[in-house]
Structure 1
Amino acid sequence: MFAAYATVTILGAVFNGAAAVTYLIGHEYPKAQADMKGIPRKWVPVLGLLLAAGTGGLLAGFVVPLLGTLAASGLVLYFIGAIIAHLRVGSRDIVGGIVFLSTALAALTLGLVHQGAW
């Protein structure tokens, strides 16, 4: 069980870490996504920080399981919100959000199974 937990958690950290860097360096893609969803561009770095915090929390969960549980839970909520934001404006381009959500949900589930809730 640990191998599955570690694999999914590291994969989730890589996905979210890469996304966080994209948001934080000012890449055009997150800005275009914010414009499309009607989100002010000043929120883009904040969203990047949330992704970075989730990344760090997933990795910290190997040492402090509660941090991993909280980070994975936060990422699940983040990506549910991202998918809703897409659907709200009529965008059906949600495959990426579903992949990220699935990874966060898998990390949460496997973490809870492997380490327990606290």
Structure 2
Amino acid sequence: MSMAYVIVAVLTAAWIGFSGFSLLRRAEFVTQPLIDYGVPRPSWTLLGLVKAAGAVGLLVGLAVPAIGVAAGVALVLYFLGAVITVLRARSYKTVVFPVLYLAPAVATLILGHAA
């Protein structure tokens, strides 16, 4: 396991974990875009839990690689879905935000596979 993988995995987990926590706490900077994109409120808790679980999975993956891979794949799919949601809402100026989460999830998955 390379040091680059460990650093990227920990930073990615922290960033995505913070995002999941912020969604679970209903922070306005997270919820307002969801309203704008038409994401139904009843799904917000599940989305926050998925982010949090993915972040924890990346950290557990440092000890159990298969869990890290599963978490990485799940997060990549989650954020691809987020990109699609933003594009379907025709919010082209804000599509960069889910991409900023997608990129480190992809990097973590690639570095984990290379290790």
TM-score tier after normalising by the smaller chain length: over 0.9
Instruction: For 1:89 and 1:21, locate their aligned partners in 2 and report how far apart those are by CA, in whole Å.
Output: 24
> Is the 1:30–1:44 contact (alpha carbons within 8 Å) kept by the matching residues of 2?
no
Instruction: For 1:103 and 1:113, locate their aligned partners in 2 and report how far apart those are by CA, in whole Å.
Output: 15
Paired amino acid for 1:9: A
Matched, 1:2 2:2: yes
Q: Which residue of 2 aligns with 1:111?
A: 112
TM-score normalised by the chain length of structure 1: 0.92
Deviations 1:61-106 (A, max 9, x none): 0111000000010000000000110000110112121111110000
- Residue ranges of structure 1 left out of the alignment (5+ in a row): none
Q: Which residue of 2 aligns with 1:73?
A: 73
> Is the 1:21–1:48 contact (alpha carbons within 8 Å) kept by the matching residues of 2?
yes
Instruction: Give the drift of 1:38.
Output: 1.2
TM-score normalised by the chain length of structure 2: 0.94
Matched, 1:83 2:83: yes
- Please give the secondary structure, in 2, of the residue aligned with 1:30: helix
CA RMSD of aligned residues (A): 1.1
Q: Which residue of 2 aligns with 1:30?
A: 30
- Please give the secondary structure, in 1, of the residue aligned with 2:62: coil
Q: Which residue of 2 aligns with 1:96?
A: 97
Paired amino acid for 1:77: L
- Residue ranges of structure 2 left out of the alignment (5+ in a row): none
Paired amino acid for 1:52: A
> Is the 1:20–1:48 contact (alpha carbons within 8 Å) kept by the matching residues of 2?
yes
